[in-house]
Chains A and B, each alone.
Chain A
């Protein structure tokens, strides 16, 4: 069964600290993996997209990694800011030419002053 699992479910960190969010997937055939940020009451916004051949991609203070062999991805946030408080959703695309998407349930991050 195609699945995307994220951990932890929720996380509280202090402003300025780093954190890492995890995403494990069992999807075949794999096409790409995406991370989205969803602020409360808003729609998800794309952070990164990684294909099979990419093992790291950065977007400002966000760095995503992908290990296609172990089917794991992580999102590392450096020097967190209050505005990083949001849900972070891992999405895996599969199926070849016309991708289907599986959305994880997200990690809810709270950054406290």
Chain B
């Protein structure tokens, strides 16, 4: 089934550790995104990529980095995790960067707890 695969599904991490959340899509979408979802807040954009080789900062980029080596993969890295990064992380994609009425397709999410 075409879509987005995220890994891990959930992870408990000690503060200060490095963590990479993986995201792979098989829809050949050009644009990919990372969002975080926290209780009482709407989804917030962390980073995005318009196409392979390019990335951009979203609303809450501090403490996170991304890379886009190819069309399908868009990993999110926390270089040194802090408790405020405890959240549910969603990877998403769309055919093009969010102009017009592009539909966003989301992965199932990665629940991260930083202790």
Could you list 18 further interchain pairs (A-B, Cβ under 8 angstroms) beyond the known A93-B98, A99-B100?
A31-B100, A34-B104, A43-B90, A43-B108, A43-B109, A44-B90, A46-B105, A49-B103, A89-B43, A97-B99, A98-B97, A98-B98, A99-B98, A99-B99, A99-B102, A100-B45, A101-B98, A103-B42
Whether, in the assembled complex, B53 has its beta carbon less than 8 Å from a beta carbon of chain A, the answer is no
* With A44-B106, A46-B104 as contacts: A103 and B43 at CB distance below 8 Å: yes
In the complex, A104 Cα to B109 Cα: how many Å? 18
Q: Can you report 30 residue pairs joining A to B where beta carbons are below 8 Å apart?
A: A31-B100, A32-B100, A32-B101, A34-B104, A41-B109, A42-B109, A43-B90, A43-B92, A43-B106, A43-B109, A44-B90, A44-B104, A45-B106, A46-B103, A49-B101, A49-B103, A89-B42, A89-B43, A98-B97, A98-B98, A98-B99, A99-B100, A99-B102, A100-B98, A101-B45, A102-B42, A103-B42, A103-B43, A105-B42, A106-B42
Nearest CB of chain A from residue B32's CB, rounded to whole Å:
13
Contact B40 A105 (CB under 8 A): yes
Dominant SS among interface residues on chain A: strand
Which residues of B does A touch, CB under 8 Å? 4, 40-45, 90, 92, 97-109
